[in-house]
Amino acid sequence: MATKTPSLPWTDYIPHEPTPRQAVFLSLPHREALYGGAAGGGKSDALLMAALQYVDQPGYAAILFRRTYADLALPEALMDRANEWLGGTDARWHAQDKRWEFPSGATLSFGYLQSSTDRFRYQSAAFQFVGFDELTHFPEPDYRYLFSRLRRLEGVQVPVRMRAGSNPGGIGHEWVRQRFILDTAEDRVFVPAKLTDNPYLDQDEYRANLQQLDPVTRQQLLNGDWSARASGGLFRREDFVLVDAGAIPTDAITWCRFWDLAGTEAKPGQSARQAYTAGVLMGRDGEGNFWVVDVKRARLAPAGVQDLLVQTAHEDRATYGAVMVRQEQEPGSAGKFVIADFARKLAGFDYRGQPATGSKVERSRPLSAAVSNKLVRVVAASWNGAFYDEFDAFPQDGVTRDQVDAASGAHAVLTTSIRRAPKSFQG
């Protein structure tokens, strides 16, 4: 067994000393923490160490999750590693329950969340430690739900902790990046670790293996680069022409605000990848250039969506004069009802529904051609990052595409309409 590391909560069930980066992770007072980034940084060891820090305390309960049972049972994976560490100790393995029990009465369990309902198997459980190995393999609702299982009795000194380890990439890349890399919170922290932080690995051999990967995956795993992502193939952010607001033409331009209303209200526990209401304001000048000057993007209840459309229509008119307002119309009578309802609320505006034909990918191809030919200008603004990210990833599965849909719709309207706006802006 390893000698107790000074200043760290420790037990004799942890067989080796943590690396310096692991020691940082193990000493955190925060409720929530993510460890890793690059491959080879010792994520699984760090999680198992963290779970074992308080197993000498009566009543302590910890659980470690992988996405599937097969992931748990792989050689060198969590259960195999735990067996290597604990097999010769006085801890007892309960195979049926996938749980280690310690003389103190503390437990370390292993679980998986393969389907959308698996998390409810734990709805009556209570843990002081919940760990996720390879967090980007999980959808956000599973992760958030397990916070409801974190609790302790009054007076118990064991900390309540949510811990995770992960590389970039995977189905949960976007929400994990948003939560731990982009957003800030007082009780949440990210501890980056790279291959060079793990002296237990043959770093040269592992680095040589990573060199065989495609450039994006190699950047993610070797350098822990959360901004590296594969292009969807239809759009490249460098093909959009970024301009200042002062470059927008002031006459001979036709405007269209196109809305994609495939939105859901943002609620705690919901995935950040759920659909948004998106409205793209695009203009076409006399030379055939397209100008993306504003994007509205939100997750709202139906009443909030209606208010957003009406308010935005008034703002667009005040700033740009005559602006067509178009909305993707769903098929069938329900779609017609929705359009009729919005038409009443937008009386006095050039508003109508636009029936969708073909797949989203096919509808985006004309805009893709315009972008690749440097015909699409984008005004520099705070919304640019999310806008470019979505276009970069489209049409990959598991990513939002509402801004792409809205921009493709506006482009289609502007390429087929012969209507022209007034020669100058109207304030």
pLDDT at position 101, please? 98
pLDDT at position 64, please? 98
Residue 423 pLDDT > 60, yes or no?
no
Task: List the beta bridge partners of residue 352.
Answer: 326
CA distance 427 to 421: 14
Q: How many helices (H) and strands (E) does the chain have?
A: 13, 15
CA distance 389 to 399: 10
Phi, psi of 84 (to 5 degrees): -65, -40
Phi, psi of 146 (to 5 degrees): -70, -15
Contact between residue 220 and residue 167 where contact means Cβ atoms under 8 Å apart: yes
Q: How confident is the model at residue 265 (pLDDT cuts 50, 70, 90)?
A: low
The per-residue DSSP string of 236-295 comes to -GGGSEEE-GGGS-SSSEEEEEEEE-------TT--TTS--EEEEEEEEETTS-EEEEEE
Count the residues in the chain.
427
| Residue 151 structure tokens | 């609790």
* Average of per-residue pLDDT values in the chain: 88
Give the β-pairing of 129-133 and 61-66.
parallel
Q: How confident is the model at residue 270 (pLDDT cuts 50, 70, 90)?
A: very low
Nearest to 98 by CA among 84, 83, 119, 118: 83
CA distance 353 to 351: 7
pLDDT at position 209, please? 85
Nearest to 349 by CA among 307, 302, 319, 316: 316
Residue 263 pLDDT > 60, yes or no?
no
**For residue 344, how far is the Cα from the chain centroid?**
36
Of 1-15, 242-256, 275-289, 411-425, which range is least confident? 411-425
CA distance 337 to 315: 25
CA distance 121 to 101: 20
Residue 427 pLDDT > 80, yes or no?
no
132: CB partners within 8 A, 6+ apart: 64, 65, 138, 143, 146, 163, 164, 165, 166
Angle ∠(177,8,199) on CA atoms, nearest 5: 65
Percent of the chain with pLDDT over 70: 90
Q: How confident is the model at residue 407 (pLDDT cuts 50, 70, 90)?
A: very high
Quick one: average pLDDT of 224-249?
83
CA distance 217 to 234: 19
Nearest to 141 by CA among 276, 270, 264: 270
| Residue 357 structure tokens | 């034909």
CA distance 405 to 328: 9
> What digits encode the pLDDT tens for the residues 38-91?
888 899 999 999 999 999 999 999 999 999 999 999 999 999 999 999 999 999
| Residue 371 structure tokens | 């972008």
Structural domains of the chain, ranges and CATH numbers in brackets? 20-223 (3.40.50.300), 237-416 (3.30.420.240)
**For residue 3, how far is the Cα from the chain centroid?**
39
Of 226-230, 283-287, 408-412, which range is least confident? 226-230
DSSP state of 155: T
Residue 233 pLDDT > 90, yes or no?
no
Of 165-174, 180-189, 320-329, 401-410, which range is least confident? 165-174
In this structure, the number of other CB atoms found within 10 A of the CB of residue 271 comes to 17
Quick one: average pLDDT of 350-364?
88
Give the β-pairing of 323-329 and 253-260.
parallel
Q: How confident is the model at residue 230 (pLDDT cuts 50, 70, 90)?
A: low
Contact between residue 302 and residue 263 where contact means Cβ atoms under 8 Å apart: no
Nearest to 269 by CA among 404, 175, 407: 175
Task: Specify the pTM.
Answer: 0.58
Rg value, the chain, Cα:
26
> What digits encode the pLDDT tens for the residues 168-225?
988 888 899 999 998 889 999 999 998 888 887 888 888 888 887 756 677 788 889 8
Residue 274 pLDDT > 70, yes or no?
no
Amino acid at 147: F
- Residue 252 zone, left/alpha/beta (φ > 0; ψ -120 to 50; rest): left
